[in-house]
Amino acid sequence: MKSHRLMLSAVVLMLVSAVAFAQSDAQKPPSDSQKAFDKLKTLAGSWEGHVTTVPQEAEIEGKVTQVSLRVTSMGNALVHEMTMGGRPDDPITLLYLDGDRLMLTHYCDAGNRPRMVGKVSPDGKTVEFDFLDVAGSTQYGHMHHAIFTVIDANHHTEDWTYMMPGDKPMHAHVDLQRTK
């Protein structure tokens, strides 16, 4: 009988603790990273636009680009898929929170996986990702920087900087309109 009371007391204590922790988490204001991630998740949908490059890259310049953004993993990840110019597939990028850091992992068609850390602008409309590290070979270059700017619910831009071999940057700007 005494062991049942002890067990019941332990269960009640665990439940009270769980409720207290849940309430304390609910009272904490969201971090800048969480706010930025929530803003990026509003981009879920299908997008289309044209790409411009500096220096001009004939294979890419002016091509119609489709972007699909999808919230997945119970709201814990945002999948970004981009295709352009009739290519059957292109890179996939995952955006997610890692503790208090907003992260981007780019699964590049160059065969590597750069990671970047995001920070939000003071006005909350732009999220800029800076290079952290890369897994895999950089023989053919690697994605190095990304900027997402939300203009409104149906318009956003993306700026991607790719480091070519020899650390020569190529910048791509994509002006996207929502299609769905």
Query: What percent of the chain is modeled with pLDDT above 70?
Result: 86
pLDDT mean across residues, the chain? 88
Please compute the mean of the pLDDT values over residues 159-176 and round it to a whole number: 96
Alpha-carbon span 38 to 22, nearest angstrom: 20
pLDDT at 22: 47
pTM of the model as a whole: 0.83
Contacts of residue 6, defined as CB under 8 A and 6 or more positions apart, other chains included, come to none
pLDDT at 6: 46
The band of 3, judged by pLDDT with boundaries at 50, 70 and 90, is: low
pLDDT single digits (tens) 60-94: 888 899 999 999 999 999 999 999 877 777 889 99
Q: State the residue for tokens 């489709």.
A: 66
Contacts of residue 113, defined as CB under 8 A and 6 or more positions apart, other chains included, come to 105, 106, 107, 134, 135, 136
Alpha-carbon span 73 to 38, nearest angstrom: 14
Alpha-carbon span 55 to 64, nearest angstrom: 18
pLDDT single digits (tens) 4-21: 554 445 444 444 444 444
| Structural tokens at position 120 | 């939000």
CA-only gyration radius of the chain, Å: 21
For residue 26, pLDDT beyond 70? no
Contacts of residue 126, defined as CB under 8 A and 6 or more positions apart, other chains included, come to 120, 147, 148, 149, 150
Total length of the chain:
180
3-state helix, strand, coil in the chain (%, to 5): 20, 50, 30
pLDDT single digits (tens) 135-166: 999 999 999 999 999 999 999 999 999 999 99
pLDDT at 9: 52
